[in-house]
Structure 1
Amino acid sequence: MPAIIENFLQMMVGLSDTFLVTRISLSAVAAVSLSNNIIAVYQALFIAVGTIVASLYSRKLVSGNVKERQQIVDSSLKLTLLIGLSLGLLSIVLGRPIVHFFGARGDVLKLSYEYLALVGGGIILLGLMTTFGSFLRAHGDSKTPMFASLFINLFNLVLSAVFIFVFHFGVLGAAMGTIIARILGSIYLFNKIRGDRPSRKFWRQKMDSELIKLTFPAAGERLAMRLGDLIIMMLVISFGEDVFAGNAIGESITQFNYMPMFGMATVTVVMIAHEYGGKNIENIQRYLRKTIMMSLLMMVVIGGILLLLSHPLSQLFTSDLIAIKSSQTVILFSFLAIYFVAGANIYTAAFQGIGNAKLPFYATAIGMLVVRTGTGVCLGYFLGLGLAGVWIGVLIDNLFRYLFLKYKFKKACHN
C-alpha cells in the first residue's frame, strides 16, 4: 500500500502543475504537457535504473555479500549522476530545437523551453530520489519514499501556486516549484538511508558489470515506451491545439487508473527478486497471480469512477468543448485497456525481477513502435478516426504485450 500511495503522490506532482497552468492559458497547458512528455523519457531512464537497482540489491541482500552490496550502491549512484548530468545539459543546450521538433510553435515553443530547461535541467534530482528510494524499498521500507512523495507534493503545490499567482512567473513558476520540492526530497531520502550508503570515493569505483548489463535493456524498454508516446503525441498535436490540450488533460486525469499497477509493479520486482534468489518458483507464480488481481480490482474501481465523472472532471481544467470531448475519449479508452495494461506491466516487472530485461524490451519496442504507432497512424490519420483511432492503437498494443509476455514467462518458469 505505501508503494501504491507513493505512485499516487508522484502522479499528483504532474497533475498539480497541469491544473495550476490551466489558469494561465491553453498554450500553457500544451507547453507543460509537451515538456512533461519529454521529461517522462528522462524519468523512464531513472525508473529503469531504479528497477534494476532494486532487483540486484535485493538479491545481494539475500546472499549476504556485503562487498557486492556496496559495489551495487556505489555503481548505482555513479550511473544515476552520469545520466542525470547528461540529460540536464541536453535540456538546457538543445531544449528549444527539441520542443520545436515535437511540434511546439509560437507561445507553446517559448513556454515549453522555459519549463524543459529548468525541470529537465535539474532532472538529476529525480534520478537521485529514484535510486535512494530503491535502496530503501529493497530493505522493505516503502513508507519513507511514500512520505517523501507526500512532502514533495505539498511543497510543489504551495511553491508553484505562490510563484504563479503571487509573483506572476507563469509556467516558469510551476517549474521552480517542482525543482525546489525535488531538492528537498533528495536530501530527505538520502538522510533516511540506514543500510549501505555510497562510499566517499564512489566516483572512482569500477561500475558493476551486471548492473550495466541489465540496465541497458531495461532502459531500452522504458525508452521505447516513451519514444512511442512522443510519436503518438506528434500525431495528436496535428489534430489541433485544443485536441492536444484535451488529450493532455485526459492523460493527467487517467494517471490515477495506473496508480495501483505501478505500485504493484514496484513490489513485484523486489519480491520476485527475493524469491528468485531463494529458488522459490512456486512463490513467484503465487505473487504474480495476487499482484495482477489486486491491481485489476483497484484499477477497475478507480477507472470506473473517473469514467462516470469524466465530464465534470474535464471541466475543472477547461471550458473548451473540443478539449473536453477529447479528454473524455482518453478516459474511456484508458478504462477499456485496464486489464491488458495491468498484465503487460506486471509481467514486465516479473521478468526484470528474475534478471531478464531483454524480453520486455523486445516486446515493448515492437508493441510501441510497430503495433501502437502503426495502428494509430492508420486509424487516426488515414482512416480519419482522429483521437479515437490513436487510442484504439494503444489498446491493441497493450493486448499484444500482455499475451506475449504471459506466454514467455510461463515457459521460462517451466524451464
Structure 2
Amino acid sequence: MKQESLGKEIIRLSLPATVENIFQTLVGFVDTLLIAQLGLVAVTAVGLANTILNVYLAVYMALGVGATALIARSIGAGDRESLTFHVRQALVLSVGVGVLFGLLSLVFGRQMLVLMGADAESLAGAQAFFYWVGGLTIFQALMTILGTILRASGDTVSPMKMSLLTNGFNVVLDYFLIFGIGSWSGLGIVGTALGTVLARLLGTVLLYRKVQQTDLAVDLKQLFHLGSPKEMVDLTLPAAAERLVMRLGQVVYFSLIVGLGTTVYASHMIAGNIESFTYMPAYGLATAAAVLIGQALVKGDILTVRRVAFLSSAYGVAIMFLLGTILFFGAPSFALLFTKDLEAVHQVVTALRIDAFNQPGLAVSLNMAGALQGLGDTKSTLYSTVIGMWGLRVVGAIVLGQMFGLGIAGVWLSILIDLLLRAIFLTWRFHVKTRKLAE
C-alpha cells in the first residue's frame, strides 16, 4: 500500500475511534455533574464503586487487546474459519469473566467497598450502585468485546455510532431516573445505576445485531465450540496485568498526592480532567495502528508494519503538539472553568503547562503500544507500565513532590519523565521486534 493511501486508511480508522472516546469522556463529565446535584456523599459513593468497576473494565479491555490482534491477523490472512473461531472465543471469554465479576459484586460487594474506605455515610449509596452496575457488569463486558470485534475488522464507524446513541440514551435516562418527573421524585443513586445498566443493555443489543450483519456473524449453536483459548489468553494476561499494575499504582500515587495537601490533590484531579481530552486522538491512532499492523503482519509485509507505526506516531505528535500549545496558553482559562480559588488556579496552570510538554511523548508511547499489540507483543507495554508507574511516577511524587518540596510541579514532572522514557523504550522494542521479523 502506498504511503498516501496508508495515511488515509489510518485517518479513516482513527477518526471515529477518537470521536467515540471524546464523547464518552464528555458523558462522564455530565454524569458527574448530575450526581453532584445529589450532594458530596453521592459523589463519593459512586466514585468508590467506580474505582472497583474500573478494575473490571481494565480486564475487559485487556481481553479486547488479545481479540484485536488475533482477529486482525485472521482478516489479513483471509482465514474465515480462524476469524469466526477467535470471535467466538472472545465472546465466550467475555461472558465468562462478566458473570464471574457479577457474582463477586453481589456476594462480596459490601466487603470490597469497605476495603476501599467507604464509611457509614457513603456505604449504603455505594452498595446500591455497585450491586446494580457490578452485578450486571456482563453487559459492559459484552459491549467492550463486541465493539472491539468490529474495530478489529476495520469498522470503527459502527462502534462510534452505537456509542453516541447509547451514551446519549444514558444521559437522558440518568436525568429522569435520578431526579424524577412530575410528582415522581426519582430514585437518586439507584436511578443512575439503572440508567447505566439499561444503556449498556441497549448497547449490547445494537452491537450484537451489527456483528451478526457482517462476515463476523457467529452461529450461536457453535458458540461454545471453543477449542484451546491458549493463544488469546497468552495475549490477554500481560495486557490485563499491565492495566491492573496501572490501577494499583494510581491508588498509591494518588495517596501520595493527597499527602501534599487537599488543594494539591484537587488541583491535580482538575488538571487530569482537562488534559484527558488531549490524548483522545492518540488513542484513536493507536487503535488504527493495532488493526493495520495485525493485518500486515500476517502477510509478512514488515515494510507496511513499520510505515503504519511511523505514520500513526507522526500524526499523533503533530496533533498533540498543537493541543499541547493550546493547553499551555489556555491553561488559566481552563482552570477558571473549574475553580475560582486562586491558589488552586495557580497549581492547575502549573500542572497543565508542564503537561503541554508531555503531549509528544504521550503520542509516541500510545502509538507504539498499539503497534506492539498489533504485533502480538503485550509484554513490552507491561514492562513499561511497571517501570513508569512504580519506578518513575510513584518515586517521582515522593522525591520531587515531597522531598524536594516541588508539590504539584514535582508530580507532573515525574509524569513528563515517565512518558519520555516510555516513548523511547517502546520505540526501541518495536524496532527490535520488527528487525527480528524481517530476518
| Shorter-chain TM-score above 0.5 | yes
What SS does the corresponding residue of 2:224 show, helix, strand or coil?
Answer: helix
Say yes or no: does 1:391 pair with 2:412.
yes
Letter in 2 for 1:292: S
Q: TM-score of the superposition, structure 1-length normalised? A: 0.89
CA shift, 1:110, in A, is 4.9
* Worse overlay, 162-171 or 398-407: 162-171
Contact 2:293–2:374 under 8 Å retained in 1: yes
Pairs within 5 Å for 1:373-412: 373-412=394-433
Contact 1:363–1:401 under 8 Å retained in 2: yes
What SS does the corresponding residue of 1:257 show, helix, strand or coil?
Answer: coil
One of 213, 217, 220 as aligned partner of 1:197: 217
What SS does the corresponding residue of 1:176 show, helix, strand or coil?
Answer: helix
Measure, in 2, the Cα distance between the counterparts of 1:218 and 1:383.
34
1:259 is matched with 280
- The verdict on how the C-alpha distance between 1:199 and 1:380 changes in structure 2, with shifts beyond 3 A counting, is farther
CA RMSD of aligned residues (A): 2.7
Letter in 1 for 2:156: S
2:145 is matched with 131
CA shift, 1:346, in A, is 1.1
CA shift, 1:41, in A, is 2.4
One of 152, 176, 180 as aligned partner of 2:198: 180
1:358 is matched with 379
* Worse overlay, 192-201 or 265-274: 192-201
Measure, in 2, the Cα distance between the counterparts of 1:317 and 1:174.
23
Contact 2:18–2:280 under 8 Å retained in 1: yes
CA shift, 1:181, in A, is 1.5
Say yes or no: does 1:156 pair with 2:174.
no
Measure, in 1, the Cα distance between the counterparts of 2:347 and 2:113.
22
- The verdict on how the C-alpha distance between 1:364 and 1:247 changes in structure 2, with shifts beyond 3 A counting, is same
Say yes or no: does 1:3 pair with 2:24.
no
Contact 2:74–2:295 under 8 Å retained in 1: no
Letter in 1 for 2:383: Y
Pairs within 5 Å for 1:164-313: 164-166=178-180, 167=185, 169-193=187-211, 194-200=214-220, 201-203=222-224, 205-239=226-260, 243-313=264-334
Letter in 1 for 2:204: S
- The verdict on how the C-alpha distance between 1:96 and 1:232 changes in structure 2, with shifts beyond 3 A counting, is farther
- The verdict on how the C-alpha distance between 1:318 and 1:83 changes in structure 2, with shifts beyond 3 A counting, is farther
Measure, in 1, the Cα distance between the counterparts of 2:338 and 2:107.
32
What SS does the corresponding residue of 1:197 show, helix, strand or coil?
Answer: coil
Measure, in 1, the Cα distance between the counterparts of 2:116 and 2:77.
47
- The verdict on how the C-alpha distance between 1:102 and 1:303 changes in structure 2, with shifts beyond 3 A counting, is farther
Measure, in 2, the Cα distance between the counterparts of 1:314 and 1:152.
30
2:61 is matched with 47
Q: How many residues align?
A: 415
One of 314, 327, 348 as aligned partner of 2:369: 348
CA shift, 1:60, in A, is 1.0
CA shift, 1:75, in A, is 1.0
| Percent of residue pairs bearing the same amino acid type | 35
- The verdict on how the C-alpha distance between 1:279 and 1:247 changes in structure 2, with shifts beyond 3 A counting, is same
CA shift, 1:262, in A, is 0.8
Pairs within 5 Å for 1:40-189: 40-105=54-119, 107-166=121-180, 167=185, 169-189=187-207
Contact 1:292–1:343 under 8 Å retained in 2: yes
Letter in 1 for 2:192: A
Measure, in 1, the Cα distance between the counterparts of 2:189 and 2:266.
15
Q: Choose 1 or 2 for highest CA Rg.
A: 2
CA shift, 1:187, in A, is 0.8
- The verdict on how the C-alpha distance between 1:330 and 1:126 changes in structure 2, with shifts beyond 3 A counting, is farther
Measure, in 2, the Cα distance between the counterparts of 1:215 and 1:175.
29
- The verdict on how the C-alpha distance between 1:29 and 1:342 changes in structure 2, with shifts beyond 3 A counting, is farther
Contact 1:18–1:32 under 8 Å retained in 2: no
Contact 1:15–1:253 under 8 Å retained in 2: no
- The verdict on how the C-alpha distance between 1:274 and 1:178 changes in structure 2, with shifts beyond 3 A counting, is same
Letter in 2 for 1:262: Y
What SS does the corresponding residue of 2:216 show, helix, strand or coil?
Answer: coil
CA shift, 1:306, in A, is 4.5
1:36 is matched with 50
Measure, in 2, the Cα distance between the counterparts of 1:204 and 1:222.
29
Runs of 5+ in structure 1 lacking a partner? none
